[in-house]
Chains A and B, each alone.
Chain A
Amino acid sequence: MSAPQMLNVQINGEWKQFPKGTRVIEACAQAGSYIPRYCYHPKLTSPGNCRMCLIEMGMPKMGPDRKPELGPDGRPVINWIPRPQISCAQDVAEGMGIRTDSPMAQECRRGVMEFLLINHPLDCPICDQAGECKLQEFSVEYGNGGSRFLEHKVKKPKKVAVGPRVTLDAERCVLCSRCIRFMKEVPQDDVLGFVDRGSYSTIAAHPNRQLDSNYSLNTVDICPVGALTSTDFRFKMRVWFLKETKSFCTSCATGCNTVIGSRQEVVYRQTPRENNEVNSVWMCDYGRLNFHYLHSERRLSRPAVKGEAAAWPAAIAKAAAELRSVPANEVAIIASGSMTNEELWLTKKLASVLNITLHDIVPHIEKGDDLLLSADRNPNTAGAKLLGVSSSKLAEIAQGVESGRIRVLLVLGEDAAGISLAKLKSLVTVGLLPSAATEKASVFLPSAGFAEKRGSMINVKGRLQRLNQAIQPPGEARDDWEILRDLIQAVSGANGVYAIEEVFRQMAEATPALAGLSLSKIGDLGVQLKLE
């Protein structure tokens, strides 16, 4: 592929170069002159309807020989177009001139800001968007201090359940059409549209339809104002109080990159984070909302031996004793595809220390879609495969447990997978929530959820990604890798490791695909691995 053609463009008096095909609005942002916008979204088509990005534009003045006239600086003389132009729908051209801050451009922005605000309810104090609202931000930067509007505002529907997860306040809407275009262009479910005309125009779902797509909450993300809000998140927390932790979604094998919004050890929301190798800027509603279990009232946060609360040292010792209480060929491990690589690595290590050969993960295959949701609901199937924890022995384990041949079972982060546990001598489980397995457990060890720990996983496309810790595990619950480390220590007496970085280092040394990597080298956007 040849390098793209570079074009000379004058932005606010300075000549810069941009590759052919760069949008004017993007070129200006790259040049440090950010142009405010509402309707423009880099991942959607440009309707040019908000008129916020109006700028002054010009093209080279042509001489009689149809060649650009050159000024004293040897650069083309620019013929400025007398009317303002939108910058969101045009690509840069050779010799183009752009003024983002000329009196005309400033006046245009001031005018549009005023128009957008005259019928806006100005209810920022009770609006969820406050703090991340483009109307607020651009109003401060480009708007007027006072209002000249003396009339009644247009009344529109408020608190409309436009879908099961999205609430619409039509009065706050600036009619940028991002949500309409998103639904049409990304999930291709053309369910939203405008009704009524002029200033009375309102966003609405198609009659007899709802905004019920599994991608509906992306409309909330891209809504530049407080018109579309998440029914789950609204009125729960002011956004400026949220601590933002870069992570990824562990609800399927895609691993959409996310930002976890938390405060005081409570996760309030997950929003998608741009990663063009994984999820663009979108994520599905299922994954996005799949965090409330972290704060479930049923969450188990104390170690237990035979159903009685126990201290960690005693519980670990008891678990280790159970694992060694029978010959190794009578012990099996059911691990999980939602464990991190570090945890899987330690699981494998535990198995080899105890000479356990029966170990596998539980597959979770459900219906996927063509967009982001993978049919494989395990976020780290690839990691379990790479690190040798998954085998094809689950059926054999199940059969062994039910026939009584396997007498001790270690279940990590999974339910009993429908296996009858009646004939087991003892069962050790590690997990978050009560299940058929935890109820029968000889030893239960409470562990950490995806937002409560660090670690790495490999998605369905072989991309190594990193979880970052947003909150502390509740109660006495502990990070899974520490539990596994302690179990290894208890069964083998060997010295343990004391940092997850060290676990990764050991794992990377032993695993060619991870050679040379470390947790910090994974970075926010992950690393593509070369897997077999």
Chain B
Amino acid sequence: MPTPFKKTPHPKERRLVFQNVDREGWSEDIGCYMENGGYEELRKALTMERTAIVNEVKASGLRGRGGAGFPCGVKWGFIKLDEPKPVYLICNADESEPGTFKDRYILHQDPHQLLEGMIISSFALGVHLAYIYIRGEFPTGAKILETAIAEARAKNFLGKNILGSGFDLEIYVHRGAGAYICGEETGLIESLEGKRAYPRIKPPYFPAVLGLYQCPTIVNNVETLCNIKHIVRMGGAEYAKIGKPNNTGTRVLCVSGDVREPGYFELEVGAVTMGELIYDLCGGMKPGRKLKAVIPGGSSAKVLRAGEKYKIKTKQPDGSTGEKEIGIEDIVMDFDSLAAVGSMAGSGGVIVMDDSRDMLWTLNNINEFYAHESCGQCTPCREGSLWMKKITERMLLGGGVERDPAVLKNVADNIAGRTICAFGEACAWPTQSFVAKFKEEFDSRAGKPVPPPMPPEYLPEELIGKEEAHA
């Protein structure tokens, strides 16, 4: 019988992948996991046909939880059943999108759920070597995973002839060195191969065709792989009943920022609106504060402004489509609704900002992050991300000139859609949306008709010091 949660989940929550997180008396060791029914789904999966598992995943409608929301079953469908090359599975545990902190709970508290999901997935995909790529900033998580892998191997859930099924699998943990770009799946693969995490060009390097070591490779997020276990347990069709059509299952939303009770919430996809999430689940805004803006899917998602109105298409009872105007509070927290209002569900990191926030400061903070994390491989993102940061920084310091907002937008436009990987969009979307939606804040800080004199790059004594050091 599962022990109670340390903090009672909100009645609107539905705990699936977080069913063991923050429970009284729970520990991350295999004994605790197995006492609570762990590895039963693995036993079940090993009796199934490989294609049957893939079909269940397809039927479940599960969409990737990493950020792009790509249908998992479709991705898996790219792997041929009789693939002659080795097939690799990589768990992307490089959770690095600012505002997102769901995977670390799973890694720290329920590593065996992830392993079970990975073993089932590997069996279904014909994988005999799988990797967990964990970000360098999770040293404890990596240790916990290593222990969990050793425990699972001791019980023959890993290794040769798993539970007498004839299926072999090894899982290795690979720690990153602390770069955001390693979360991009082809960058991750390069990093795993021991190279700089420069994302690959697609075409021709689609991971499912030419992935790790030029072999077919599936890269899935931690949360996605955990869901596989539950899909096997309840069946794809049953799983698809959770949430909404095309937005099935549960999703862990990570709320941070200016709400009274930030934290994680596992919800059926689309179960709540933005308003319910902020005012009901998170206890509302801080005292005396009003909602100003929300970034709904990790820092790269386009910002939504309180008071904005969105026109979205709705299905009428007679089957025709109509149009409805909604406010920010009415946005349903699912993949399609957030896309319809011009942003995205992304990684599930919801960042809430109240009226005390300076949007120029906020954008500069985001720009600083992306300028620091741009891998530098392709021109627009490499040069543009730092340029945008320099503009917002100068504006913050009082040196904004009239054309700055327009230049900011144009620089962002010159990045988005022109880069090798999605980092281009990730660094351009915040600038595009902040400048467009908080125009008055940016315009008011861009008052100078001509550029102010540049501050000296070095103080004279520094220059002398450099000269002397050089001589």
What residues of chain A have their CB less than 8 Å away from a CB belonging to chain B?
A: 46-52, 54, 83-84, 86, 89-90, 107-108, 111-112, 114-116, 118-119, 148-152, 154-155, 174-175, 193-194, 196-201
What residues of chain B have their CB less than 8 Å away from a CB belonging to chain A?
A: 179, 196, 198, 201, 203-204, 371-380, 382-387, 390-391, 394, 401, 403, 407, 413-414, 417-420, 451, 454, 457
Nearest 9 CB-CB pairings of A with B: A111-B414, A201-B376, A115-B383, A198-B374, A151-B390, A199-B386, A48-B201, A49-B378, A198-B376
B376→A115 contact, CB < 8 A: no
B residues less than 8 Å from A84 (CB atoms): 417-418
Given A48-B378, A151-B391, A199-B376, verify A115-B420 contact (CB < 8 Å): no
A residues less than 8 Å from B372 (CB atoms): 197-198
A residues less than 8 Å from B417 (CB atoms): 83-84
A154→B375 contact, CB < 8 A: no
Given A83-B417, A111-B414, verify A198-B378 contact (CB < 8 Å): no
- C-alpha gap A175/B374 in the complex (Å): 14
In the complex, how many angstroms separate the beta carbon of A169 from the nearest chain B beta carbon? Answer: 16
In the complex, how many angstroms separate the beta carbon of A354 from the nearest chain B beta carbon? Answer: 66
- C-alpha gap A174/B401 in the complex (Å): 28
In addition to A108-B414, A150-B394, 9 A-B residue pairs with Cβ atoms within 8 Å of each other are: A46-B201, A49-B377, A50-B378, A151-B387, A154-B386, A197-B179, A198-B375, A198-B385, A199-B371
The residue of chain B having its C-beta at the shortest distance from the C-beta of A108 within the complex is B418
A residues less than 8 Å from B380 (CB atoms): 51, 111-112, 115
- C-alpha gap A47/B375 in the complex (Å): 14
Interface centre among B201, B373, B385 (most CB of A within 10 A): B201
- C-alpha gap A49/B385 in the complex (Å): 16
B376→A194 contact, CB < 8 A: yes
B385→A115 contact, CB < 8 A: no
Given A49-B378, A197-B372, A198-B371, verify A111-B418 contact (CB < 8 Å): yes
A residues less than 8 Å from B418 (CB atoms): 51, 54, 83-84, 108, 111-112
The residue of chain B having its C-beta at the shortest distance from the C-beta of A47 within the complex is B201
A residues less than 8 Å from B454 (CB atoms): 150-152
Given A115-B384, A116-B383, A151-B390, verify A175-B376 contact (CB < 8 Å): yes
A119→B201 contact, CB < 8 A: no
List 23 A-B pairs, Cβ < 8 Å: A48-B378, A48-B420, A51-B420, A83-B418, A84-B417, A115-B380, A115-B382, A115-B384, A118-B387, A150-B394, A150-B401, A151-B387, A154-B386, A155-B457, A174-B379, A193-B196, A194-B376, A196-B376, A198-B374, A198-B385, A199-B371, A199-B385, A201-B376
A residues less than 8 Å from B387 (CB atoms): 115, 118, 149, 151
- C-alpha gap A107/B198 in the complex (Å): 25
B residues less than 8 Å from A148 (CB atoms): 403, 407
The residue of chain A having its C-beta at the shortest distance from the C-beta of B386 within the complex is A199
B residues less than 8 Å from A199 (CB atoms): 371, 374, 376, 382-383, 385-386
B residues less than 8 Å from A152 (CB atoms): 390, 454, 457
A residues less than 8 Å from B419 (CB atoms): 51
A residues less than 8 Å from B204 (CB atoms): 89
Given A115-B380, A119-B383, A150-B401, verify A197-B420 contact (CB < 8 Å): no
The residue of chain B having its C-beta at the shortest distance from the C-beta of A88 within the complex is B201
In the complex, how many angstroms separate the beta carbon of B147 from the nearest chain A beta carbon? Answer: 32
Interface centre among B373, B379, B385, B419 (most CB of A within 10 A): B379
In the complex, how many angstroms separate the beta carbon of B398 from the nearest chain A beta carbon? Answer: 14
A residues less than 8 Å from B382 (CB atoms): 115, 175, 198-199, 201
Interface centre among B204, B373, B378, B457 (most CB of A within 10 A): B378
In the complex, how many angstroms separate the beta carbon of A88 from the nearest chain B beta carbon? Answer: 9
A residues less than 8 Å from B379 (CB atoms): 49-52, 112, 115-116, 174-175
A90→B203 contact, CB < 8 A: yes
A residues less than 8 Å from B401 (CB atoms): 150
In the complex, how many angstroms separate the beta carbon of A57 from the nearest chain B beta carbon? Answer: 11
B373→A197 contact, CB < 8 A: yes
A197→B374 contact, CB < 8 A: yes
- C-alpha gap A48/B198 in the complex (Å): 11
In the complex, how many angstroms separate the beta carbon of B269 from the nearest chain A beta carbon? Answer: 27
A residues less than 8 Å from B386 (CB atoms): 154, 198-199
B residues less than 8 Å from A201 (CB atoms): 376, 382
B196→A194 contact, CB < 8 A: yes
In the complex, how many angstroms separate the beta carbon of A39 from the nearest chain B beta carbon? Answer: 9
In the complex, how many angstroms separate the beta carbon of A45 from the nearest chain B beta carbon? Answer: 10
B374→A89 contact, CB < 8 A: no
In the complex, how many angstroms separate the beta carbon of B363 from the nearest chain A beta carbon? Answer: 16
B residues less than 8 Å from A116 (CB atoms): 379, 383
A residues less than 8 Å from B414 (CB atoms): 107-108, 111-112, 114-115
A residues less than 8 Å from B385 (CB atoms): 198-199
A residues less than 8 Å from B413 (CB atoms): 111
In the complex, how many angstroms separate the beta carbon of B201 from the nearest chain A beta carbon? Answer: 4
Interface centre among B372, B376, B380, B383 (most CB of A within 10 A): B383
- C-alpha gap A148/B417 in the complex (Å): 21
- C-alpha gap A422/B315 in the complex (Å): 109
In the complex, how many angstroms separate the beta carbon of A200 from the nearest chain B beta carbon? Answer: 7
In the complex, how many angstroms separate the beta carbon of B247 from the nearest chain A beta carbon? Answer: 24
- C-alpha gap A17/B419 in the complex (Å): 30
- C-alpha gap A111/B413 in the complex (Å): 9
Given A90-B203, A150-B451, verify A51-B376 contact (CB < 8 Å): no
- C-alpha gap A175/B378 in the complex (Å): 8
B203→A89 contact, CB < 8 A: yes
B residues less than 8 Å from A52 (CB atoms): 379
- C-alpha gap A506/B21 in the complex (Å): 94
A89→B201 contact, CB < 8 A: yes
A residues less than 8 Å from B377 (CB atoms): 47, 49, 175
B374→A51 contact, CB < 8 A: no
The residue of chain A having its C-beta at the shortest distance from the C-beta of B406 within the complex is A148
B residues less than 8 Å from A111 (CB atoms): 380, 413-414, 418
B residues less than 8 Å from A200 (CB atoms): 376
- C-alpha gap A431/B287 in the complex (Å): 96
- C-alpha gap A54/B379 in the complex (Å): 12
- C-alpha gap A52/B383 in the complex (Å): 14
The residue of chain A having its C-beta at the shortest distance from the C-beta of B451 within the complex is A150
The residue of chain B having its C-beta at the shortest distance from the C-beta of A86 within the complex is B201
- C-alpha gap A174/B372 in the complex (Å): 18
In the complex, how many angstroms separate the beta carbon of A85 from the nearest chain B beta carbon? Answer: 9
- C-alpha gap A451/B457 in the complex (Å): 50
A residues less than 8 Å from B457 (CB atoms): 152, 155
A residues less than 8 Å from B407 (CB atoms): 148
- C-alpha gap A116/B179 in the complex (Å): 24
In the complex, how many angstroms separate the beta carbon of B390 from the nearest chain A beta carbon? Answer: 4
The residue of chain B having its C-beta at the shortest distance from the C-beta of A52 within the complex is B379
In the complex, how many angstroms separate the beta carbon of B190 from the nearest chain A beta carbon? Answer: 11
- C-alpha gap A48/B420 in the complex (Å): 7
B residues less than 8 Å from A112 (CB atoms): 379-380, 414, 418
The residue of chain A having its C-beta at the shortest distance from the C-beta of B458 within the complex is A155
In the complex, how many angstroms separate the beta carbon of B34 from the nearest chain A beta carbon? Answer: 43
B420→A49 contact, CB < 8 A: yes
In the complex, how many angstroms separate the beta carbon of B94 from the nearest chain A beta carbon? Answer: 16
- C-alpha gap A21/B153 in the complex (Å): 48
B residues less than 8 Å from A198 (CB atoms): 371-376, 382, 385-386
